[in-house]
């Protein structure tokens, strides 16, 4: 099904950035997940004056460039700590960013966002073992009607057969599973886990009007 339906999906917007990622093993988001997120952004951004995104884990800017390509009123703050990635992302943003992407060159856990910062979408895609910390640190900056999307919750297929993996991978699997549990048990957020790409979650704040079941 995936192969068949993908024939109908859009062409790559930044072929040379995509090629670079493949050549240097930069773990960019998978096409199907990206298409879904772009669709959600488009739908939401068309009803707003500005649509603001915080991305945790920029790498070479592949996902953030796709996000801003959806609609001219989309703005991204994206966080990256790796020097090499920062270099490449900076040059990609200079060419294609239209001044709408702000790269924060720091460890995400050390970043101090201005108190007035607020986002329509927070995209968590950095060190997977830190997901709970990222969620707790940045979720206060989410607008009431915003959403938090996390990537790689299927961890390249490792979630289903951890016993066959190395100790490091098993540790990572445990951490990601803890995060998935944390999300599904969260009192303030409703999360759906979408088995697309490498697995993403979409979390929204529970509303005061929510129907109790």
Applying CB under 5 A, the residues found at the interface with Mg ion are 29, 125, 151-152
Q: Which does 54 bind (CB under 5 to 8 A by kind): Mg ion, ligand SAH, none?
A: none
**Integer Cα distance of 36 and 14 in angstroms:** 17
Asked if 108 is part of the footprint of ligand SAH (rule: CB under 6 A), the reply reads yes
We find the least distance from the C-beta atom of residue 187 to ligand SAH, in angstroms, to be 26
**Which residue is closest to ligand SAH by CB?**
57
CB closer to ligand SAH, 130 vs 205: 130
CB closer to ligand SAH, 23 vs 163: 23
Distance, CA of 68 to chain centre: 13
We find the least distance from the C-beta atom of residue 167 to ligand SAH, in angstroms, to be 20
Asked if 81 is part of the footprint of ligand SAH (rule: CB under 6 A), the reply reads yes
Which residues, 6+ apart, have CB-to-CB distance to 126 below 8 Å? 56, 57, 79, 108, 134
Residue of 63, 131, 150, 191 that binds ligand SAH (CB under 6 A):
63
For the record, the structure tokens of 29 come out as 């988001």
Which residues sit opposite 121 in a β-bridge?
Answer: 53, 147
Residue of 62, 93, 135, 179 that binds ligand SAH (CB under 6 A):
62
127-166 residues near ligand SAH, rule: CB under 6 A: 127, 130
Asked if 199 is part of the footprint of ligand SAH (rule: CB under 6 A), the reply reads no
**Integer Cα distance of 190 and 210 in angstroms:** 10
Residue of 85, 148, 176, 183 that binds ligand SAH (CB under 6 A):
85
Residues contributing to the site for ligand SAH (CB under 6 A):
27-29, 57, 59, 62-63, 79-82, 85, 107-109, 125-127, 130
């Amino acid at each position: 099904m995936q192969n068949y339906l993908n024939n109908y999906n859009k062409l790559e917007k930044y072929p040379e950035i995509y090629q670079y990622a493949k050549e240097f093993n930069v773990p960019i988001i998978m096409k199907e997940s990206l298409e879904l997120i772009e669709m959600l952004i488009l739908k939401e951004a068309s009803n707003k004056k500005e649509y603001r995104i915080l991305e945790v884990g920029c790498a070479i800017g592949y996902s953030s460039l796709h996000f801003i390509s959806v609609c001219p009123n989309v703005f991204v703050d994206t966080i990256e700590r790796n020097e090499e990635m920062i270099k490449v992302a900076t040059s990609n943003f200079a060419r294609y960013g239209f001044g709408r992407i702000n790269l924060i060159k720091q460890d995400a856990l050390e970043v101090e966002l201005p108190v007035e910062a607020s986002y329509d979408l927070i995209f968590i895609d950095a060190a997977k073992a830190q997901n709970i910390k990222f969620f707790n640190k940045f979720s206060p900056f989410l607008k009431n009607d915003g959403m938090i999307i996390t990537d790689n919750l299927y961890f390249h297929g490792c979630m289903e057969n951890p016993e066959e993996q190395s100790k490091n991978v098993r540790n990572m699997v445990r951490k990601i599973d803890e995060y998935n549990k944390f999300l599904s048990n969260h009192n303030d957020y409703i999360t759906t886990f979408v088995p697309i790409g490498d697995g993403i979650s979409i979390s929204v704040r529970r509303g005061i009007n929510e129907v109790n079941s």
